Chains A and B, each alone.
Chain A
Amino acid sequence: MRNKLPLLSIPYVVWMALFVVAPIIMVVIYAFSSAAGGFTLANFARMGTYTVVFTRSFKLALIATAICLLVGYPVSYMMSKEGPRFQRIAMVLIMLPMWMNFLLRTYSWMAILENNGLLNQLFQKIGLISLYNNIFGTDLTFFRMINTQGAVVLGMVYNYLPFMILPIYSVIVKLDHSLIEAARDLGANSFNVFRRVILPLSLPGVLSGITMVFVPSVSTFAISKMLGGGTEMLLGDLIEQQYMGGAYNPQLGAAISLVMMVIVVVCMWVMNRFGEGEEQAVMM
């Protein structure tokens, strides 16, 4: 009977062929064709003019990923040391913001970071701005926060931090405790237990977290538009412009998308090399 079970997946296999594989083939076709329809490599050559956008995207996404890792790893580690009740509530609290669309949350940051926004009002009240003016001899009435690269990075960290915490946490919490006890019995202090046992074993979660933060960060366009004010164009903005914006050029957009897909494939390849823990980690 069991040899008939695979038939159950046929509808989905057909679905995948139609809506996963075929779209990717479309991207490849568009990326290598000119507006008139012939084969060309011009789309990739044109990307050279956007080197600034590429470097800026990578820079901001890498910074955001690094911050997420530096904040997310300790949080996951500490969470796993608390009681089960706390862990359950903490998990819910981390998932909860995701149920509000990320645009709502990003929109809230706009009001916080605005020149006459809440943070600047607060700085004004506690005298931070006048203090700064006194020290540096400047004449500021506000700190410029919105429409800067910093604001974009903040938006990325804020929105994607849960994607770092969840996979790391789910790997750490499943670690085999006897290994840690064994390391202790064999004379390792807590630092060495962490460095030699916990850290290497949680690496699949870390890698999965890095991918899950880096990929959306490098490809975002809403965050950069809302918090960067459209001045800090990223790869995502570039693609979006080719379809929705004034610069209608689906071929160039497809070429950039193809480059992005290659980035993802490289990320996946690196992750796969690091072992099997990845599948559970992505699952949260």
Chain B
Amino acid sequence: MKKNNSFLNRLFMVLVFVFLYAPIFLLIIFSFNAGNSNMVWKGFSLAWYAKLFRNRLIMQSVYTTLLVSLLATVIATFAGTFAAIGFYAMRRKVREPLMTVNNIPMMNADIVTGVSMCLLFVAFFNGWGSFAAWFNSLGLFRLPTRLTMGFGTLLIAHITFNIPYVILSVGPKLRQMDKNLVDAAMDLGCTWMQAFWKVILPEIKPGIVSGALTAFTMSIDDFVISYFTAGSSASTLAMTIYGMTKKKVTPEINAISTLLFVTVLILLAIVNIREARQERKRAAELRRS
């Protein structure tokens, strides 16, 4: 197994990576194009970057995308971690059906998740309309009678499809944890809360981090569910691009792609260098002990 790959095998891997990255690099190259096409090179220019920052539509959708992804990730990480601990402590008979339900948004086709939530929201808003009309007739205080899909529903949808990923990466860490640790901590006088903060949390931290990372990835990468749950008042970057492809895509899109790519690249580099350094430190400690 530990035989190294032959030259041909390596070449195959390189080709796959070229396939994965060629379109991205083309976007980056053409973001510096003076012309307004993705096919003809007309010389170097930064004009599209300048135009990008003046393009309200794109900047607004980038802002919406980042905001909804960050909020959904934070909320989903909290809720998912607590839910995972709860599931972990449950009896198998109770846990298994709940885990099946938990897996639904992950396994279901995005479009089905999007459509089903869209139906729910519309039905709820209709019901709300009649309820608010009745409530307002009581004359206590006024409720808005017309609710529409927008940022709120978008956020709910993102949280819903993010939590399962957090649970899925925290769960195994809990199961790997030594069960006696919590009991020991409490025998030694820890309160329930202290046991949580000082014992459970450090043990499952890697799971929480990777769960949050996965959740954020899924949020950023999502288009379909957002498309069905955002209504017309909120628009993520993906929705804006999709709207553009029906008419004309402006090269500002190349510029924003480049900026996003570079940001992610830098973040990942930092995370990975830090991880590698920690691993080396751990290895050194192990050797010493």
Contact = CB atoms under 8 A, between A and B. Distances in A.
B101 A21 contact: yes
A27 B111 contact: no
A44 interface: no
A128 interface: no
22 contacts: A1-B186, A6-B94, A8-B85, A9-B83, A9-B85, A9-B87, A12-B86, A81-B3, A82-B4, A92-B268, A96-B264, A98-B220, A99-B220, A100-B261, A102-B238, A103-B241, A105-B23, A108-B38, A215-B109, A236-B224, A240-B111, A243-B115
B83 to A, nearest CB: 4
Given A112-B23, A260-B111, A22 B120 contact: yes
B7 to A, nearest CB: 12
A216 B22 CA distance: 23
A20 B104 CA distance: 8
A103 to B, nearest CB: 5
Interface residues of A, number: 96
Interface of A: 1-13, 15-16, 19-24, 26-27, 30, 71, 74-75, 78-79, 81-82, 88-90, 92-105, 107-112, 114, 116-118, 121, 158, 161-162, 177, 180, 190, 193, 198, 211, 215-216, 218-222, 225-226, 236, 239-240, 243-244, 250, 253-254, 257, 260-261, 264, 267-268, 279-280, 282-284
Contacts of A19: 117, 120, 156-157, 160
Contacts of A215: 107-109
Contacts of A22: 120
Residue of B83, B156, B260 with highest tally of chain A CB at under 10 A: B83
B79 A12 contact: yes
Q: Specify the main secondary structure of chain B where it touches its partner.
A: helix
B78 to A, nearest CB: 10
A107 B109 contact: no
Given A97-B21, A108-B24, A118-B39, A16 B5 contact: no
Given A16-B102, A107-B253, A108-B257, 9 more contacts: A6-B94, A11-B79, A15-B160, A97-B21, A99-B220, A100-B264, A101-B220, A103-B242, A279-B172
Contacts of B24: 97, 100, 105, 108
Contacts of A253: 115
B86 A218 contact: no
Interface stretch (B9-17, B48-56, B138-146): B9-17
Contacts of A16: 98, 101-102
B90 A9 contact: yes
